[in-house]
Each structure stands twice: as C-alpha cells, then as structure tokens.
Amino acid sequence: MGGSVKDVESKEELDNVVRQGAPVILHFWASWCEASKHMDQVFSHLSTDFPHAVFFRDGKTVDTMEGADPSSLANKVAKVAGSINPGEAAAPASLGMAAGPTVLETVKEFAKENGASQVESQLPSGLSDTLKIHLQKVIETQPVMLFMKGSPEEPKCGFSRKVVEILREEKVKFGSFDILLDTEVREGLKKFSNWPTFPQLYCKGELLGGCDIAIAMHESGELKEVFRDHGIETSDLNEAKETKPGSGKGGISESTGLSVTLTSRLESLINSSPVILFMKGKPDEPRCGFSRKVVEILQQEKVDFGSFDILSDDEVRQGLKVHSNWSSYPQLYIKGELIGGSDIVLEMQKSGELARVLAEKGITQKETLEDRVRNLINSSPTMLFMKGTPDAPKCGFSSKVVDALRAENVSFGSFDILTDEEVRQGLKVFSNWPTFPQLYYKGELIGGCDIIMELRNNGELKSTLSE
C-alpha cells in the first residue's frame, strides 16, 4: 500500500491517483464524526481511515466499507495490498490477522484512552490456532452457511427460524450448524466473528450478520445482489414449498393446513400484546414449572406482558403448535416473533440477549411499585406524604406537620396518599413505617408527626432539613 497518506483536494487529483493502477484506499471522512477523529492513528498505519473507505485496484472499485470497524478495515486493506490471497475471503475474526504490531498497539492505546469496548473487543480474541482453523473450516463448509439454534427443519428460536425462511425465499442452498450442540463452536464463534449473538449468516466465508441484518438485506434486495455477486446459484425448487401441510416438520410451509379462521385468530392472539406468553395457567397461578420460570424471567426483566392460558382452549393449544411449528409450551413471542420456550428464554436472559432483543424491539422496562415510590420520595428534597393536601389536610396529624414546616419556612413537596392506594400501602412496606404522615429529606425518612413536633420543639427541625 506504499505506507503513504495523501489529502486529495480535487476530483481531477482523485482521478489521477486512481488511474495510476496501484492499490488505493480512499477514505471519505467528516469533521463532525468522532470515529474519524479518534481513529486517525489506526488509519496512519493502514494508509486509510474511517468511517467510509472505497478500495481501488487497477483503476476499478473492488470493495467498500462503512463504519468504524478496525477488524474489517485491516483485512480489506491487506487484501487490496496483496498480503491476503485475493481468492480468500477477508477473515472476519480479529484485527491481528491482517494488521501489524504497530496497528495493534495503536488500537489498544485508543481503547485504553477512550474506554472503547467496541475496539477492545476487536483485538485478537485469544482463541487457539486449532480452534480458529476449525471454525474457518466449518464456516467454509458451504458457500452459504448459517449458524443457528436448532436445525432448518426444527429451529429452536424465532430469529433462527426467520433467517431460514428468508434463505428459502431467496431460493439458495445453504448449510447449517446447530450451535446448541457444540459449546466450543458456539462460544468460539462469538469471538472469532466479533458477533455476540445467533443466528450468524455467512456467504463465501464473509459474515453478513444476524437476523435483523438478514431481514433488512432481504427486504431491500441487497441479499439477492450479494448472492449473485458471489456466484451463489438459486434453485427453482424451494425447499419450503416441498413441506407437506400439517406434517409438523420443516418449520416453513405455504400452508399449515389450519383453517383461515383459526389462523386469523392465532395471529390476532400473537399480536395482542408486544410481549405475549402462551402458557399453562396464568402468571399469578402457573400450572407447570416451565411456565412459572418464564413468568419469573419476564418479571425480572420488568416488562409488561400479556398471557394466554392454553389449558383453557384446546383449539388454540393444538393449533398454535402447528402454526408456530413448536410442539411444547410455554411459547414466548415478542412483536409477533416466536422467541422460544423455557430453555431458550432462560439461556437468553443469562447471556443478556433477551434484554438486548427487548430493547431493539422497543420494549421498555415497566416501573415497579418500588421504583415509583422511590421516584416520588426523590421528587422534592423535602417530601411529605400526607392525607389530603397542604391547603386542605384531611387529618390532624398531617395538618400539624404542614403547620410546622411552614412555620420554619421550609419548602416541601407533598403527595396525597388517599388518592392512590397502591402508593399508600407500598410506602408502608418501603419505609417500614405503618402510619401517615411521613416526611422525607433527600430520600431519607425523617419520621411521622410525633418526631416532627419533637424536632420543632427542640429547635432542630430547620437544621435537620437543611443539612
């Protein structure tokens, strides 16, 4: 690559550089882009920068890249410069596969200075050479390779199922690997590809991405272009269409064999809530341990969810098994997509993937009663929970505390506990104080009427509320 970096100031100068025929990497940057500013040192060693690079060879565009991704950039630069066999795919694993020690040191320093976990995660993963070779071989087993949960015939998560569906719609042959069967491959591939979740879709050894990226590329037509550009042939025989309706195999079929009415009802139930759990029993009274576990997980994640007791409706119970191609319960859906059953949900929670999926789907955590009580307490430096309002107290004790605070010229917020039974009872538990009024200062309970009167009589009320 020549080791030189040159600022191009005109289109004519750009054309001259490209026409020279030597490998050239063009970097288009913006002064407002933090990635451009922070990564200048990496660029100086690779003769390129972020966040947008176009790769030229013999006067022709041979590759492009967007975004601050040191791993991908280093490999692409190495390919254009000739340090990686042009016939091989740019390895999506680690920066060290294409970059020298100076670049690695620069990226490490950048990560240290900025706390940049993204860059840090793109440094060499520490995988053994044996495992790296094994993973690369598995990735290259087929031109199109899908690492998923389960198999194409029996996907074990909704995201894997969706990518299988997309590939079948694209009419491409693909290989698959069930990462649930091999922990070493599963954990190793996360580091090797610098991609923490599954499924992962590869084309000719290149990581394309996960479910969301596959969906976006499919809908935009880009996925079809990628397959075409890489010489991936399509087949007129769509495996999905070969599945016999009602067979319970394959996961993808044009017809489930269910009536239009039942199908419509099932889809309506699935979309009746952003998060919906088909379970045995109800959240307050689960009738199996697996259903209970998923309820607990959703409560721990602090999300609102709907539920349907499949024991109360055998038509829904049997029909949903066919509709979802998932033979057991519970079944959890997020925004209409099947996530899976108890084992999958538990595993996703432990890995943090469930929280990520909920956030990506726009599902926010609900405010618990404890959260609400805490927020009310902290809504004012001095906060009085009373019966009635300061201008119209509804008990003598509340009236006395209001008078004491006003006599000391103390500004305070208030909350009428008679208007909200949930807060009234919740505050008793939260503060371990059974009566009202309750006075708080900077989030700490001062006490009730007797304590406030005692502080005032001792001349300590003003100082206590101003510390």
Q: Is the pLDDT of residue 279 over 80?
A: yes
pLDDT at position 55: 53
Query: Three-state DSSP class for 222?
Result: helix
What CA–CA distance (Å, rounded) separates 401 from 385? 10
Count of alpha carbons within 13 angstroms of residue 365, beta-carbon side: 13
What CA–CA distance (Å, rounded) separates 171 from 168? 5
Q: What is the pLDDT of residues 4-38, one digit of tens each?
A: 667 777 767 777 777 776 666 666 665 544 445 44
Q: Is the pLDDT of residue 111 over 50?
A: no
Instruction: Give the mean model confidence (pLDDT) for residues 299-303.
Output: 89
What CA–CA distance (Å, rounded) separates 414 from 439? 9
169 contacts: CB under 8 Å, gap ≥ 6: 218, 238, 240
pTM: predicted TM-score of the whole model, two decimal places: 0.39
CB 294 within 8 A of CB 345: yes
Q: Is the pLDDT of residue 85 over 80?
A: no
* Percentage of the chain modeled with pLDDT above 90: 40
Q: What is the pLDDT of residues 119-151, one digit of tens each?
A: 333 434 468 888 888 899 889 888 999 999 988
Identify the bridge partners of residue 63 per DSSP, sorted by sequence position. 55
pLDDT at position 222: 87
Task: Tell which residue, 281, 342, 345, 343, has the closest CA to residue 310.
Answer: 281
**CB burial class (10 A; 0-12, 13-18, 19+) of residue 174?**
buried
- Of 232-246, 277-291, 367-381, the least confident: 232-246
Q: What is the pLDDT of residues 423-448, one digit of tens each?
A: 999 999 999 999 999 999 999 999 99
**CA angle, 53 then 56 then 61, to 5°:** 90
Instruction: Give the mean model confidence (pLDDT) for residues 335-363.
Output: 90
**CA angle, 158 then 159 then 161, to 5°:** 65
CB 223 within 8 A of CB 214: yes
pLDDT band per the 50, 70, 90 thresholds, residue 390 = very high
Q: What is the pLDDT of residues 37-49, one digit of tens each?
A: 444 544 554 443 3
Q: Is the pLDDT of residue 246 over 80?
A: no
